Structure 1
């Protein structure tokens, strides 16, 4: 589940990076200069914050991937320890 979360967060980051820029495209569509200016302010702020959010999501994705790998390694080690505890002869063969 953690591995899937890491992959999903990677897709979210790509989606954020793939969003088109809002600024400069819709100014004339508002029909009012004040409203268009407010939208431009929002678009500029959104662009900055979207980049920050994409970076933070990427960090979380990497943390999740690393955690999943660590859990898998621990799981394999525990499974091996349990197998060896059940059959001590197989542990000696492996050494």
Structure 2
């Protein structure tokens, strides 16, 4: 924790921002399927492209559940890290205040 308190706080904010971003990505992946869904030949212009999107959707559906679970887990880990770092920072600050108070009383 070698910087000033402001630097540490900025780091904690950044960690929380990362957790929020990961969970936003999780939500996007949870709700996404085929990017061409709702479009037909007239919009896409090629049956081969339309077939590729359909194949993508099948593969995506299979992998999406695992990916969203991993994103959810990672978001939770990062958010937990932010909370833990903040708790450690508060405990350290309290210990330093107690030490300073004891030092002042002894002087």
In the alignment, which residue of structure 2 is the partner of 1:79?
Answer: 93
Equivalenced residue count is 89
> 2 CA distance for matches of 1:26 and 1:3?
38
Q: Aligned-pair distance for 1:51?
A: 2.3
Runs of 5+ unmatched residues, structure 1: 91-95
> 2 CA distance for matches of 1:18 and 1:24?
12
Q: What is the TM-score of this pair, normalised by structure 1?
A: 0.72
In the alignment, which residue of structure 1 is the partner of 2:25?
Answer: 12
Matches within 5 A, 1:1-95: 1-22=14-35, 28=41, 29=44, 31-32=46-47, 36-88=50-102
Contact 2:34 2:53 in 1 (8 A): no
2:73 partner SS: helix
**4+ runs of 1 displaced by more than 3 Å?**
20-32, 34-39
